[in-house]
Amino acid sequence: MKKNANRLLVIDDEAEICNLFSSVAEQLGFEVRTTGEADEFISLNRDFNPTVVILDLHMPQADGVEVLRRLADDKCRAGILVVSGADSRVLGSAERLGANRGLNMLGAMQKPVQLQELRGKLGDAKLAQRKFTPADLEQAIAKEQLLVLFLPKVAVHDNGGWSVEGSEALVRWDHPELGILMPDEFIPMAEDTGLIKPLTGFVLNETVEQLRRWHDLGLDLNVAVNVAAQLLEDLEFPDQVSKVLAQHDVEGSKLILEITESAAMGDRQTSMDVLTRLRLKGIELAIDDFGTGYSSLRQLFYMPFSELKIDASFVLEVAESNEARTMVETMVTLAHNLGMSACCEGVETQEIWDFVASINCDKVQGFLISRPIDSDSLVKLVREWQDAGSTRKIFDVASGKRSRSVAMTE
């Protein structure tokens, strides 16, 4: 198996901090290793060969400055983030010491670390590692080096159970040298260079072909595909989608196109033309990442959407924030009042699940249910749920543990 192109190594003697850093980094596509021991950290650094290191300056066996010295001796090439509860001057001194020793210092974060800051720094670190060109991506599309995985989407039932409704198609680039690259590493370049159209064409064809296979296996599933803003300005796009569906003999209602609200608000007249024609062809439309853009609600809801997807940045906060709970519940109610279904993204804990179920959210996605998986794994997962009955609960009531069907997907 190819090594992930983005590898994070964390040294921190607090297990809760390690778990938090791991969760955020894995969502961004990092492979993660953690330790609280300085000697094990140095050994992991040599064997795991991380691309990014998060280093706690306060360690019981060896402080962070000593570890920086040892990393310099090992000629570590990873980007290094230092963290500490110490004041900013101490953090700044440690960062300068690392840089003076020739290390690639990415910055410093003061505890308690803000999640938005952590995501930003890890995201910047990934982009800094990018070593490919538009020509490489064009070749990857031509040589079919792109992979399509599927994030299951489930429907919530009144009895607290759930059943598979479909999935969302997520593209990865299986780079011959850099390993598996996540979408945020190459999608922006595709949008900037005009490659987003052939890339989306590849994903659409692969996805609709899978729909045909699932139908032939007796599985009544739908699948969602993300659509970039540029394609909403292409008046030929609806006909191209319709052609792919006809080629594989798939009903339009089994395909959902997800569009961010900011994308839909570009050239509004053209977008309205394209979106309306897609709906006339029976294709479903979802507003993706709702709540994160800046748009006119009046104009937005004139558009023919059938589903509203509530962004994970709101959903992840509902366990701790009254404001987030109010926002999510309001958006679910708004969707229902406008005749749309509501889907919460980022459902990662039982507490979040319980809340979104309590406010009658129709559908959910998130790592509590499953991480992105390939088509064969999705079929296996669906079969398990079918064998167990029409619905499954996320947790076994008697044991309080997650069901086997959930655990096997992680």
pLDDT of residue 60: 67
**225 vs 294: CA distance, rounded Å:** 22
Residues 8-34 have pLDDT tens digits of 999 888 888 898 899 899 888 889 999
Residues of the chain with CATH 3.20.20.450: 134-407
> What is the Cα 305 distance to its own chain's centre?
22
Cα(130)–Cα(341) distance, integer angstroms: 38
Top mean pLDDT of 64-68, 188-192, 234-238, 289-293 is at: 234-238
What is d(CA 375, CA 171) in angstroms, rounded to the nearest whole number? 13
- Give the three-state DSSP class for 13: coil
Question: CB 295: neighbour CB atoms within 10 A?
Answer: 17
Distance CA 197, CA 261 (A): 19
One DSSP character per residue, 185-233 reads HHHHHHHHHTTHHHHHHHHHHHHHHHHHHHHHTT---EEEEE--GGGGG
Whether residue 259 has pLDDT greater than 70 = yes
Question: Whole-prediction pTM value?
Answer: 0.69
Please name the CATH architecture into which domain 134-407 falls.
Alpha-Beta Barrel (3.20)
Would you state the pLDDT for residue 205? 97
Q: pLDDT digit string (tens) for 168-222?
A: 999 999 988 777 888 878 898 899 899 999 999 999 999 999 999 999 999 999 9
Length in residues, the chain: 410
Token output for 149: 């995985």
The per-residue pLDDT of the chain, averaged, comes to: 85
Q: Residue 386: which residues within 8 A CB-CB, separation 6 or more?
A: none
Asked whether the beta carbons of 84 and 91 are under 8 A apart, the reply is yes
Give the span between the Cα atoms of 397 and 128, in whole angstroms.
Answer: 46
Q: For residues 204 and 29, is the Cβ–Cβ distance under 8 A?
A: no
Looking at residues 63-81, what average pLDDT do you find? 88
Strands 7-11 and 31-35 come out as parallel
Predicted local confidence at residue 130, as pLDDT: 61
Q: How far apart are the first and last CA of the chain?
A: 17
pLDDT in tens, 330-353: 999 999 998 999 999 999 998 998
Strand order in the sheet with 104-110: 31-35, 7-11, 52-56, 79-84, 104-110
**Which CATH code for domain 7-128?**
3.40.50.2300
**DSSP labels for 308-375?**
EEEPHHHHTTTTT-HHHHHHHHHHHHHHHHTT-EEEE----SHHHHHHHHHTT--EE-STTT---B-H
Residue intervals in the chain for CATH 3.40.50.2300: 7-128
User: What is the largest distance, in Å, between two alpha-carbon atoms of the chain?
Assistant: 66
Confidence of residue 396 (pLDDT cuts 50, 70, 90): very low
Q: Is the pLDDT of residue 75 over 90?
A: no
Hey, CA dihedral for 262, 267, 269, 272, is it positive or negative? negative
